[in-house]
Amino acid sequence: MELILGDVPWIVVLIILPLTGGMACFLFPAISKSLGLLTSLAVVACVWGLGWQLEEEGAQRYAIGGWGAPLGIDLYADGLSLLMLVVAALVGLGISVYSCGYFSPDKANHFWPLWLFLCGALNALFLSSDIFNLYVTLELLGLTAVALVALADGAEALTSAMRYLLISLLGSLFYLLGVAFLYHSFGSLDIAILAQRAEPSPAVWAAVGLISTGLLLKTALFPMHFWLPAAHACAPTPVSALLSALVVKASFYILLRMWLEIFPMVGTSFAQLLGLLGAAAVLWGGIQALRQTRLKLLIAYSTVSQLGYLFLAFPLGTSLAWKGALYMLLSHAMAKAAMFMAAGNILVLGGHDRIAELSSITQRLPLTLTAFTLAGISIMGLPPSGGFIAKWLLLQASIESGQWWWGIILILGGLLAAAYVFKVIGHVFTQDEPTRQAGTLPTTMEWSALVLALVAVLLGLFTSWPLAIMEIGSPFGTGHSG
Amino acid sequence: MSYVYLYALLGVSLFVLGLNALIVHAHLLRKILAVNVMSTGVFLVLVALSSRNEEVLPDPVPHAMVITGIVVSVSATALALILMLKVNRATGKNELPDRGRD
């Protein structure tokens, strides 16, 4: 058993499997649902296999086709990649189960291949150690995500998909220009080699600026968040969950990787700028979420706000702060996917998501309501939930490094989150005549939301396991401390 | 300054021109073309910087990157054009509506 598990190149399987699954779904639309579910399950199993391998042997490097790094393209997996893969696999499985009941057969034929391609792009992105390969995966991710948003018919969805596509291409081009400068300066595309050779020069400063701008645009950090709420709110529900939980995190992951490996010489002023933008995102996103009258838009603005927390770790720069940000990423992915699914259930059954008129619908959806509330606990950061642990780690890091003012942002953000979550829950519990129209939801749609929300809360109780994953290969060992 | 940097600077100016057009013009086809001009600029930078000076043969890796980039850019343009047609069919216009709120 050990021999077999240890010998399989899980890194490669994780990329090929979803791509093959996507092709198969495209060729055999009649069984695409079962193929898609099977692939999602298999991806979870492969991530488990890779995790086992990493735990036994430490960080893994795989040279595709046997060509080593300077000429060929390497794949690399350490604790940071593994954590992202685990998030993507678990949320992906939840989304696959949810989508079984959500799409009409006609739409499902388009959804499954695209979703599996997106899953493959995500896995490839988390495993690449080549900055040009990262560009290709970013584009694959962007194109499939845009196509998925456009699955929802209607003028609003199409225009937001179009805007999303233009923004996504713009971000990628900024990134690619930065890659060109980096390659010209150091003659390599491999992150590990770049890390050894990198030294400050005007070309590198330009590259840092361009790459960061491109990635921040894709991560929708304030004030470049303007495209996110419309695109995330108009998409079909499983796609909204995918975009908010996983796709925006992918570009954050690249930024984090570059920051830890190649950009340690950038210095503190840029880190402070990122922290400030993050703080502005937390407050602005929270205030905008409070002002929304439609549930899905409220959740989308909440994503803008929660993404801001991730950037608070940059000015702190300690290993503890990175862990806090990653914990935030992990619990937000689970909670936000659950929230979008709950909103989707309400939308399917009630036909609208106006917050003021929710009570008549939600009285018939106790499971969905529970899922929404549990996810809300994690979003607000109340104990015992993943969101609480994340904020606790960040708070501790901010006090330890003497920059307590970031802690105030954490608390203010939590209060705003509490305000907008309770705004929804308050409307839900008002007494209202239940609507007459009958209708039921597939149980999978309610349960997948509930299970993801439960995971988000349980992350607050079982902290040792995710924290141990982050340690593999010590990805934060070389991080700058500012 | 060798001619290499001249081409690289030309690439950067194409990038900036494209960025300007992307922001200024409202018509979607112009925006899509602007993105294409921008990517051409990036490709020019990549190819130009691949030869460090006149004596040494150019580095082939950036050429491989440009070929990959062209493939990506073609597929992105195809998707953008299809979306533009669908937007036109749904709204009757070739422009994105102004954002009402935010």
Q: Within a domain: residue A269? A: no
Is A125's pLDDT higher than 90? yes
Total number of domains in chain A: 1
pLDDT single digits (tens) A345-368: 999 888 888 888 887 777 788 899
Residue B79 in contact with partner chain A when CB distance is under 8 A: yes
Task: For residue B70, list chain A residues with Cβ-Cβ distance below 8 A.
Answer: none
| Domain assignment of residue A403, yes or no | yes
CATH code (residue B38): 1.10.287.3510
Closest-CA residue of B relative to A289 is B102
- Is residue B9, in this structure, part of any structural domain at all? yes
Q: CA-CA distance, A453 to A471, in Å (whole number)?
A: 25
- Give the residue numbers spanning the domain of B78: 3-91
Is the CB of residue A116 less than 8 Å from the CB of residue A204?
no
Q: What is the pLDDT of residue A176?
A: 96
Cα(A167)–Cα(B80) distance, integer angstroms? 12
In this predicted structure, which of A195-209, A284-298, A406-420, B5-19 has the lowest mean pLDDT? A195-209
Nearest residue in chain A measured CA to CA from B99: A226
Residue of B62, B69, B83 with shortest CB distance to A162? B83
Look at the alpha carbons of A70, A72, A73, A75 in this order and tell me if their dihedral is positive or negative: negative
**B-chain residues within 8 Å CB-CB of A226?**
99, 102
Contact between B42 and A177 using a beta-carbon 8 Å cutoff: yes
Q: Flag whether B27 is in a domain.
A: yes
Q: What is the pLDDT of residues B28-87, one digit of tens each?
A: 999 999 999 999 999 999 999 887 766 778 888 899 999 999 999 999 999 999 999 999
Instruction: Kindly state whether residue A411 falls inside one of the protein's structural domains.
Output: yes
Inside any domain, residue B98:
no
Rounded distance, CA B93 to CA A6, Å? Answer: 57
Domain that holds residue A357: 280-482
What pLDDT, on a 0 to 100 scale, did the predictor assign at position A16?
A: 95
Inside any domain, residue A44 = no
Predicted pLDDT of residue A482: 31
Residue B101 within any structural domain of the chain: no
CB distance A74 to A64 below 8 Å? yes
Residue B102 falls inside a structural domain: no
Average pLDDT, chain A: 90
Task: Show residues of chain A in contact with B91, CB under 8 Å.
Answer: 155, 158-159
Helix (H, G, I), strand (E, B) or coil at B102: coil
Is A409 domain-assigned? yes
Tokens describing residue B87: 């937007």
- Contact assignment for B102 to A226 by CB distance below 8 Å: yes
Number of domains chain B contains:
1
Bridge partners of A55, per DSSP, are none
Q: Are A310 and A325 in contact (CB under 8 A)?
A: yes
Rg (CA), chain A: 21
How many of the other CB atoms lie within 10 Å of CB of B60? Answer: 9
Residue B99 forms part of a structural domain: no
The answer, for A443 touching chain B at a CB cutoff of 8 Å, is no
Could you give the C-alpha distances from B88 to A26, A109, A158, A160, B27, in angstroms and in order?
27, 24, 10, 13, 11
A442 domain-assigned: yes
Mutation target to probe the A interface, by most A beta carbons within 10 A, among B13, B16, B79, B96 is B79
- Domain assignment present for residue B97? The answer is no
Under 8 Å between Cβ of A212 and A283: no
Angle formed by the axes of helices A155-186 and A202-219, to 10°? Answer: 160
Residue B58: inside a domain? yes
| Residue A177 belongs to some domain of the structure | no
| CA A196, chain centre distance (Å) | 29
Let me know if residue A436 belongs to a domain: yes
**Looking at chain A from residue 260 to 319, which residues have their Cβ under 8 Å from any Cβ of chain B?**
288
Structure tokens, A329: 């990423």
Contact A229 B102 (CB under 8 A): yes
CA closest to A175 among chain B residues: B42
